[in-house]
Amino acid sequence: MSRSFPSDFLWGVAASAFQTEGAVHADGRGQSVWDVYSHTPGRTTNGDTADIACDHYHRYPEDIALMRGLGVKAYRLSTAWPRIFPTGSGQINQRGLDFYDRVIDLCLHEGIEPWICLHHWDMPVTVEDKGGWRNRDTAKIFADYAAVVARHFGDRVKRFAPINEPNVIPWVAYNVGRHAPGKQDYPSSLQAIHTLNLAHGYTVSAVRAEAPQAEVGNIVSLGPVRPHYDDAAHEEARILGACLWRRVMVDPLWLGTYPEPIAKDMEPYIQQDDMAAISQKMDFFGLNHYNPVFVGPNKNTTFGVAETAPPTGMGPLTDVNWVVDPAAFLEQIRDTSARYGKPTIYITENGASYPDALGPDRRVIDNDRIAYFNGYLNALLDALDEGHDIRGYFAWSLMDNFEWGRGYSKRFGLVYVDYPTLQRIPKQSYHWLSEVIKANAV
């Protein structure tokens, strides 16, 4: 790249506990909703489960060494709720805290700042059995878990986020039923939206009480929402889709209100002081972005709207059929900055899946991913030139991992994982991004 980022720009990688750790029965970890979901026939590609995943639980020193080699200065990890509270609340599993102590301490030793996201979709089964996000009591239970994590790690971790991409949960898990727990029910979906927002607000308070020197922000996946066809029905779907995808898990946090056209339907779930608890001032806005989202009406979903395949002729596409569109990234940054009062933004996920293959020379040449990163990083530079307050960029992901319902069939990593052997092999994009980071180092 011929253009430069600010000298204090933060470069990082992101990953999640369930997708990488494996060791699902090790050291007292409890069962999560995704353990159950992935073991349910027909729910994942090839029946894949995350029982082993990348075995990051045992191989984290090797993975942190790969981060050091890449040159990043931050690692956005998630703590596994069922690893710390096997039954969701009550007795703390000290061995779970010990594992994250080891990870965090090694990161700090290697000059890598750990960021903690407290929840990346792996809710304990015992909490789901009591209603999960459909039960507003879950917000308090989650905040109690967050307080334990912030108290234990707050001396070393300076940035926390409550929930990764909370908008994905009602959109995918409750609208189309394609993620754990795989529910489709309108009142349950509305309650889940509000409970997730409450959990965020309660957690902000908990983190600030237990780790007052730490920063806390949200992490949400956003992209422009566009109609699949140019007609009235698809425009109506776009309006509702934009509400559900871009606004319903962000406006309450930053603006203190639910957006139209769903605001009226949310009223029965809102109790006194809820919105004040939800809409606390935050230190940063964590923006995950991959692609623009195309939508259309769909009577088989809870809300009557769903994501569609991109329109014919749209391209290029990634391996998961997402449009490569750096201009949409810039559009989303502009929208976020304008709507939410020019917050401090970190790009907390960005990346692409391609059908990577291990060559006979044990190399992975992923030029499509390099082109993707090049285009999106240049869009990020355009955003910086426009004056948006963007402080850092986390690539998704350090390594190939368990991609939820797609199992191991899709690869987003900078590092190739040879799943039969679990060998890690840096791809060409790893070396390319390393050179970019070095060229922009302080």
Residues carrying an active site annotation? 165, 349
Name the helix (H) or strand (E) containing 327. Answer: helix 326-339
Helices (H), 46-155: 56-70, 81-84, 94-109, 125-128, 137-153
Question: What's the rounded Cα separation, in Å, for the pair 50 and 42?
Answer: 15
- Neighbouring C-alpha atoms within 13 Å toward the C-beta of 427: 27
Residue holding tokens 């070396």? 431
Both tokens assigned to 363: 């190399």
Residue 133, both tokens: 């996000």
> Has 60 been labeled as part of a binding site?
no
The structure tokens listed for 429 are 């994009």
Does the annotation list 19 as a binding residue?
yes
> Helix (H, G, I), strand (E, B), or coil: what is residue 374?
helix
Note whether 139 and 149 are within 8 A (CB).
no
Residue 321 neighbours by CB distance under 10 Å: 11
403 is in an annotated binding site: yes
**Residue corresponding to tokens 């109506």:** 236
Residue 251 to residue 275: CA distance in whole angstroms = 11
404 is in an annotated binding site: yes
The β-bridge partners of 215 are 159
Euclidean distance between CA atoms 440 and 384, whole angstroms: 14
Which residues share a beta bridge with 347?
287, 393
The CA distance from 434 to 414, in Å, is 10
Other Cβ atoms within 10 Å of 28 Cβ, number: 14
User: Is there a contact between 151 and 194 (Cβ–Cβ < 8 Å)?
Assistant: no
Q: What share of the chain is helix, strand, coil (3-state, %, to 5)?
A: 45, 15, 40
CA 293, CA 313: separation in Å to the nearest integer?
A: 15
Residue 303 identity (one-letter amino acid): F
Q: Is 213 annotated as a binding residue?
A: no
Beta strand pairing status for 415-418 and 423-426?
antiparallel
Per the annotation, where are the binding residues for substrate? 19, 120, 164, 290, 396, 403-404
Per the annotation, where are the binding residues? 19, 120, 164, 290, 396, 403-404
